[in-house]
Amino acid sequence: MIYPLRSLIILFFLALISISCEPASEGQGERVRKKVFRYNQAGGISSLDPAFARNQANIWAISQIYNGLFQFGKGLNPDPVIADSWSISDDQLVYEIDIRRNIFFQDNPCFEEGVGREVTAHDVVYSFKRLVSDDLKSPGAWVFTNIAKKDKNGKLASDWISARGDFRVIIRLDAPYGALLERLAMPFAYIVAHEAVEYYGDDFRKNPVGSGPFVFEVWDENAALVLLKNNNYWKKDDRGRSLPYIDAIQVSFISDRMQEFRTFKKGEIDMMSGVSTDWVDIVLNKAGEVRKEIAGQFTVLKTPYMNTEYIGFQLDPKQYDNPNHPFLDQNFRSALNYAVNKDELVAFLFNNVGEAGVNGFVPPYLYSQVVEPVKGIAFDREMAANLLEKSVYNGEKIQLYTTQFSKALVEFLQKQWANIGVEVEIINNSVSIHQQLVDEGKALFFRGSWLGDFPDPETYLSFFYGSNIKFSGPNKTHYRSGEFDDLYKKAKKEGDTFTRFDMYREMDQMVTDESAVIVLFYDEVVRLLQPNIVGMDPNPMNLIQLEKVDIIPGKLRSDS
C-alpha cells in the first residue's frame, strides 16, 4: 500500500527534473556585455496597445515600442518625433503636419516578408481613426472626439483627419484649440500599423508592432515583459551614434512595493519610481533630503508630477435632502480648507515629497512660464474658526469617503478638522465602490486626485466644466457656474497663450475662492536609480524614455 505514495514521489521529482532541464544557463559571460535595464511594475500591465494606454504601467512600456507624431521630452512642451514640421491655418482650425521620411516599423511577420515598411501619413490617419472608432471603444477616444471637426449631426466629420500624399497629415478642428500638440503627444495617439492590427486581431494587445526604439520580445503576464533593442531604429544621438544604447528592457511584476525596494537595494532592478509610505523613510529624511546612510548608493531624482490631490465636495443641491446642508455653504467649505495645515501634511506624511496645495487646482509650475500662479488657501486656524462661526454648520458629524490607500492622509485631516470643532467620520470603501459613489454623486465629501493628461491648465479646469457633469464625467463635484463655463469655452478657442493662460488663471481663482475643492498638495515623483544608469531625464508627466539611457559598465552592479 506504500506504492501510490512512492510513485507520487518519483513522479514529482521526474517532473521537477524535466522542467529544470529546459535550456537555462547559456553564456553567463554574455550577460556582462549586454546592457539590460530592469524596472518593476507592481500592478502589472494590462495592454500594449496604444489605444489602451490608460495608466502609467501601460504607458511606460508602450512608449518604448511606439512613436507618436509628438512626444513629451524633458520640458513641458511636446517635441516633434514622427512629425517633421507643421503649420496652422489662420483661423486655427486646420493643422497640416509633414512627417519625417525613413521611419520604419519594426520587422514583424505581419508585414510582407516580415520586413517593416516605412511609416506614412496613411498610418497616422489609420491610427487616429482607429482610436475614435466605436468598435474599438478605446478609453482614449476623447483625445479627438471633443475637439475634432463635426458634421451636421454632431458626429465626427469624415474629413476630420486626412492624408495629402504619403507624408502630409491634415487635422481639422471644430473650434480653435490651443493644446492640440499636447494631445497628439499622448500615448493614446501613438502610431500603429494596420497590418499588425489586422494580423493579430484581438491579440494585438500582446503583439505590439511600432516604430520605437525597442522591439517586443516576450510577455509572460505573471513573470516579466522583455523588450529588445530595435537595431534599425531611426534616431541618432548628437554624435551620430545610433540609439538606443541599451540592449534590452526587462519589466518585472513584483506586486509588493517593499519587496520591490529590497530587490532594488540588492541591485537586481535599476529603477524605482513613486513614493510609497513604506519606504520613503528609508530613503529620505523628514526634510526630503537623501539620507546620509544611503547617499551615493543610488541616484535620487525628484521632479514635479502633474497630479493634484484634493478633497472634493458634492456641490449639486439636488443630491441633498437638506437644502441648508453645510457642504453647500461656502463659509463652511472654506473653514475646512483653512483648517488644514498643508505644509505640515506634506512634510509629516510624505517627507516633503510634493508641494503644499496653497495655490489653485492647477499645479503652480504649469503657469510659471506664462503668468503668476493663483493665490490659494493656506493654513489659518483663526480664519477657519471665524468662517465656521459664520457658516450654517451646527455641530453635526460629517462623513468623508475614501479608500484604504489614503488612510494616513485622511486621519491627519480628521485631526486637523477636530481642532476647529468639526467631527469627521471616515468611511472606507474599495477603490471600485469609492469610484462609483463619487461618480453617482452619492459621496458628498470625498478624497480624490486629478492627474493631468497633458501639461496644460485646460486638463485641470475641465474638472469644473458644466458639460462634464454627466454621470461619471470628469466633473466629480458637479460644480456649475455660468461665468466659469463661458470663460472655459472662450479660453479653449483662444490662440494666444498669454491671454489663454490669463483666462485659465481667472477660472482657477474662481473655484479656489469658492473652495469647491480643498487642494491638499501637488505631487512630485521620486525616482531611485542605480548609480551606473545615466541619461534618465525626469519629466513632469512621469513618463520614461529609455532610448537615451545608458548603463556604465564597471560601476556597482551586483550581478554582472
Contacts (CB under 8 A) with other proteins, residues 194-213: 202, 205-206
- Nearer CB in complex with other proteins: 80/312: 312
Q: Which three cell numbers stand for residue 474?
A: 470628469
- Nearer CB in complex with other proteins: 322/430: 430
- Nearer CB in complex with other proteins: 35/500: 35
Per the CB < 8 A criterion, the answer to whether 455 and 541 are in contact is yes
Supply the minimum distance, in Å, between the C-beta of residue 485 and other proteins.
17
Mark 120-142 as b/e (b = at least 16 C-beta within 10 Å).
bbebbbbbbbbbbeeebebebbb
When asked if residue 5 is in the footprint of other proteins (CB under 8 A), the reply is yes
Distances (CA, A) of 390 to 210, 327, 384, 413: 60, 14, 10, 22
Supply the minimum distance, in Å, between the C-beta of residue 215 and other proteins.
12
When asked if residue 14 is in the footprint of other proteins (CB under 8 A), the reply is no
Per the CB < 8 A criterion, the answer to whether 93 and 176 are in contact is yes
When asked if residue 166 is in the footprint of other proteins (CB under 8 A), the reply is no
Per the CB < 8 A criterion, the answer to whether 38 and 224 are in contact is no
When asked if residue 175 is in the footprint of other proteins (CB under 8 A), the reply is no
Using CB under 8 A as the binding criterion, the count of chain residues that bind other proteins stands at 76
Using CB under 8 A, which of 259, 322, 368, 419 touches other proteins? 259
When asked if residue 154 is in the footprint of other proteins (CB under 8 A), the reply is no
Pairing of strands 424-429, 398-403: parallel
Q: Which three cell numbers stand for residue 88?
A: 496652422
When asked if residue 249 is in the footprint of other proteins (CB under 8 A), the reply is yes
- Residue linked to cell 529620505: 284
Pairing of strands 161-164, 83-88: unpaired
When asked if residue 295 is in the footprint of other proteins (CB under 8 A), the reply is no
When asked if residue 297 is in the footprint of other proteins (CB under 8 A), the reply is no
Supply the minimum distance, in Å, between the C-beta of residue 230 and other proteins.
14
Q: Which strands make up the sheet holding 94-99, listed edge to edge?
A: 83-88, 94-99, 168-172, 161-164
- Crossing angle for the helix pair 407-419 and 342-350, nearest 10 degrees? 150
Sites for other proteins among residues 36-75 (CB under 8 A): 36, 46-47, 54-55
Binding mask 96-115 for other proteins (x = CB under 8 A): --------------------
- Nearer CB in complex with other proteins: 281/389: 281
- Smallest CA-to-CA distance from 402 within 520, 541, 322 is with 520
Sites for other proteins among residues 396-455 (CB under 8 A): 430-433, 435-437, 439, 450-451, 453
Using CB under 8 A, which of 94, 224, 370, 427 touches other proteins? 224
Using CB under 8 A, which of 23, 114, 395, 482 touches other proteins? 23
d(CA 362, CA 460): 6
Supply the minimum distance, in Å, between the C-beta of residue 384 and other proteins.
30
When asked if residue 156 is in the footprint of other proteins (CB under 8 A), the reply is no
Amino acid at 459: T
Residue 198 burial (CB < 10 Å; 0-12/13-18/19+)?
A: exposed
Supply the minimum distance, in Å, between the C-beta of residue 433 and other proteins.
5
When asked if residue 153 is in the footprint of other proteins (CB under 8 A), the reply is no
When asked if residue 27 is in the footprint of other proteins (CB under 8 A), the reply is yes
When asked if residue 139 is in the footprint of other proteins (CB under 8 A), the reply is yes
Residue 329 burial (CB < 10 Å; 0-12/13-18/19+)?
A: middle
- Nearer CB in complex with other proteins: 439/513: 439
- Nearer CB in complex with other proteins: 138/314: 138
- Smallest CA-to-CA distance from 84 within 73, 63, 69 is with 69
- Nearer CB in complex with other proteins: 36/93: 36
